[in-house]
Structure 1
Amino acid sequence: MRNFSLGCPLSSLLYSLVAEPLAILIKQDETVKGIKSSQGNISKIFQFADDTTITVEDEASMDRVIVHLHNYGLASGAKINENKSEIMYCGVATRTPGRWEFREVVDEVKVLGVYLGKQQGEARDKTWENVISKVQKLLNLWNQRKLTIKGKTVIINSLIISKIIYPLSVYDLPDRILNKFNSQITTFIWRRNRNLINHKSLIAPYKEGGLKLVDILSKKQAIRIKLVTKFLTSSTKHIWFDYFRSYLESFGTKTVFNFEIKAAICNFY
């Protein structure tokens, strides 16, 4: 990997090839007890680039995972920094203090910039407050430059929206958070707390006299539609499908899955 530059398109693919054996080791080990979904499927490991999240049922399973991490390190040269790794106990899991060198967190753990915790509402709010803070710092930085309104729109569409996309795919967006983002954008564009022209005009295409400003509410709705489409049409069954299905069934929609609805969805779109 040292022979490839940071921006090389092959580097991520090669890293995936190197990381895959670790996932195989853990998934195929029957002594590692993962978390079972309501549909009976089991999750043990989630990987994204060099970020790895382990979900196991008990401490004995975690001991086995550490053995695999050690063996994987001997073969690949990679090493897990236990001092920078975090562990969080959930439910009634038996807890042995000081069993590993992992830093123990109590309420929530940060995964890929998003807080996941025992109290979902608190973790969600903490995530969004963190994003709001990052967005404001970026806007403050670009406010020091003399940008045109069109230039400011480019900054919002390219830099600001990118900070929102991933959390938006994980958590719902409360109205108060949406209003906060819109307020930040309005102040950045007009240097005051209200729009000088209608918001619908700002998000309209150029040919209609708009600036093609990305509308956060529309982006949220598009992400939701994409998620549902993937759930209904994907040939690959991801573990989150189980939880989404259970969530839908909690509304009394269990009978929906007894019908062929893909054709109807295609007609809808």
Structure 2
Amino acid sequence: MDGSEETLNIALQLLHSFSQYSGLNVNFEKTHVVWIGALKYSTQSIKARWKLVWGCTQFKLLGLTFDVDLPKMIEQNYNDKLVKLENIIAHWNRRELTPLGRITVVKTLILPMFIHLFVSLPQPREAICKVLNDKVLKFVWQGPSKIKAKVITKDFDEGGLKMVDINAFIKSLKLSWIRKVIQGQNKFTSLAKKLIDFNILCNTGSLYAISAVKNITNAFWIDVLTIYSDFVKSINIDSVDKLVDMPLFFNNCLLINNKYIFWKYWYDDGIRFVKDIIKDSGQILSLQELQAKMNKPVNFLHYEGIKKVLSTYIVSVQNVKLKDYKVHSYPILSTYIKPIILNSCNKLLYNMLKENSEIPTCQTKWNEYFADDSIQWKNVHGQVFKKTNNTYIQWLQTRIIHRILGTNSHLFKMGLSDSKTCTFCKMSEETITHLFWDCNTVKILIKDISDSLKNAKIQIVINSKMFLLGDTNVNDSCFILFMEVKKYIFECKRKEVIPNFQGLKASLKLSLNIYANTTNESNKGIFWKVIVCKRRLELFPFEGGRVIFGQSKKINKT
């Protein structure tokens, strides 16, 4: 339409005629007419047979709010979703959930609400991303963060909680557009290919994306190419295959006089990857061999320049030697583009983007406490999530390992407790190690457990490292027993009740009853046939394994 009355009426008549044949009627009373171009803010109306809504600057289509001023469109859509986010958070804040449960809410209810915006719109302003991230973290922790943001996004066995790294998540969704364009054959992909030469993008390094950005004005594709360039730079060349499949041109690792390399006659003759100028023995081709392969003369300066920078780079790559190179099929895609093209889902991309070298602070502190640098931290962090589904126990052990459990010492420093002395002995400062191991009251309880195990002919020497952090040398049932004991001790601390062996037995019975009704009998270990008391051995019909336990039974003060 050209903005005239005639063309508008023709278009409306066509829609009306179509409705008579298809039965799909246009609700003209709710149809908004939006001026674009020079008249985008105009309130001018055109007389038509049907009643239309004039003077609009926005309309909603496929879940997105469109605005005649495109830059406003991004902020408007995100602000609308942030309002809905507040409502979801307010609803779930009324429930008593652990951070593990709240992370599940983030993954299943909050982030899916934004995915359409992440995929369809250019990157939001940094301020909007910060607001979104801050709101989500505040919801997860119900206040200030207890564990570093870079740590909680890691897997369980790395000390994380599998929290979503929102920034990496957005980037992985943006990168998926490169795969869609390369593999797709439709009108949209053809438009994208007019902006960017995806053939060169797939066969060169990050600097091509940077140079392409200078020639386009589309904000969405500028974001995609910028993210791709950063992604390529983050890839670690840690194997011979990655090294030989690395592109020669537009590669930020191979620069001559601080400028990228691109020799079109090499590229057109198929010399695009490191592999193309490497012999089967792993040595760089000589000038004569390269000329024979290309069947044409090669500029001597070009050859010597690339040979020098490539040789220097190969030496700088640790633990990767070209002599280990074995001939394989010709690479269809470069090292950099393979993770994007060869994976149908974004999980691998996301994992690569969120990867960081941050180490939980707690590991250093526990190493100092035990004077032991050989602790297998992957096993320590991950075993509670492998051996039980009980989120109460999982979160309790996570707080113990990360040293963020609310002991009196910790609460006193925060101004939330009047005293930092132990709830049980009233003598020493109540730290995590004191509460669960050094306190005399707890020592008596652990000694009773140890004696009962010996009476049952189960030989286990319980030490502080095994009890506090867990030990992969003990079976699942023993690990769950220690967790149940720590749960009982912490419940006694919260209720200001002195822990004792009879109270522990009652707590274990309750947990066992829940286990008996919720777990497959075929999932057995060797320990739960022993529920101990001071004088005799009691046998119960169910045995240990992967256990789901409930809350501790209330224990009277003794």
TM-score (norm 2): 0.34
Higher relative contact order (Cα pairs below 8 Å, separated by 6+ residues)? 1
How far off its partner does 1:236 sit?
A: 2.5
- Residue by residue over 1:197-253, the C-alpha shift from the partner in whole angstroms, topping out at 9 and shown as x without a partner, is 011222212333322222211111011111122223322231x75267448867237
How far off its partner does 1:121 sit?
A: 1.8
Paired residues in the alignment total: 209
Q: Over aligned residue pairs, what C-alpha RMSD do you find?
A: 3.1
- Choose the corresponding residue for 2:100, options 142, 150, 153: 150
Where structure 2 has 5 or more consecutive residues not aligned to the other structure, the ranges are 197-208, 217-249, 251-263, 273-331, 341-558
Which runs of structure 2 are paired with 1:5-84 in the superposition (5 Å)?
56-59=1-4, 60-84=6-30
Q: Distance in 2 between matches of 1:104 and 1:86?
A: 6
- Residue by residue over 1:132-163, the C-alpha shift from the partner in whole angstroms, topping out at 9 and shown as x without a partner, is 11111111111111122111111100110011
- Residue by residue over 1:101-125, the C-alpha shift from the partner in whole angstroms, topping out at 9 and shown as x without a partner, is 2222443322233222222222211
SS of equivalent to 1:252: coil
Q: Distance in 2 between matches of 1:87 and 1:147?
A: 47
How far off its partner does 1:98 sit?
A: 4.3
**Are 1:263 and 2:213 an aligned pair?**
no
**Are 1:211 and 2:161 an aligned pair?**
yes
Moved more, 119-128 or 101-110: 101-110
Q: Distance in 2 between matches of 1:224 and 1:121?
A: 18
How far off its partner does 1:82 sit?
A: 1.2
Q: Distance in 2 between matches of 1:212 and 1:141?
A: 23
2:108 maps to amino acid: S
Aligned to 1:129: 79
Q: Distance in 2 between matches of 1:266 and 1:97?
A: 51
Aligned to 1:242: 191
**Are 1:184 and 2:184 an aligned pair?**
no
- Choose the corresponding residue for 1:175, options 118, 126, 129: 126
**Are 1:251 and 2:214 an aligned pair?**
yes
Q: Distance in 2 between matches of 1:57 and 1:243?
A: 26
Which runs of structure 2 are paired with 1:87-102 in the superposition (5 Å)?
87-92=33-38, 96-99=45-48, 100-102=50-52
Q: Distance in 2 between matches of 1:266 and 1:140?
A: 42
Q: Distance in 2 between matches of 1:103 and 1:121?
A: 24
- Residue by residue over 1:156-187, the C-alpha shift from the partner in whole angstroms, topping out at 9 and shown as x without a partner, is 00110011111112231211111101111111
Question: Structure 1 residues 133 and 74, CA, compared in 2 at 3 Å: closer, same or farther?
Answer: same
Q: Distance in 1 between matches of 2:192 and 2:52?
A: 28
Aligned to 2:534: none
2:169 maps to amino acid: K
- Residue by residue over 1:51-77, the C-alpha shift from the partner in whole angstroms, topping out at 9 and shown as x without a partner, is xxxxx4444444333223222322232
**Are 1:198 and 2:148 an aligned pair?**
yes
Which runs of structure 2 are paired with 1:103-122 in the superposition (5 Å)?
103-122=53-72
Q: Distance in 2 between matches of 1:191 and 1:268?
A: 37
Aligned to 2:370: none
SS of equivalent to 2:35: coil
Moved more, 59-68 or 140-149: 59-68
Contact 2:32 2:59 in 1 (8 A): yes
Aligned to 1:86: 32
Where structure 1 has 5 or more consecutive residues not aligned to the other structure, the ranges are 1-55
1:174 maps to amino acid: R
Q: Distance in 2 between matches of 1:215 and 1:198?
A: 12
**Are 1:138 and 2:88 an aligned pair?**
yes
Question: Structure 1 residues 220 and 267, CA, compared in 2 at 3 Å: closer, same or farther?
Answer: same
Moved more, 113-122 or 241-250: 241-250
Q: Distance in 1 between matches of 2:10 and 2:176?
A: 37
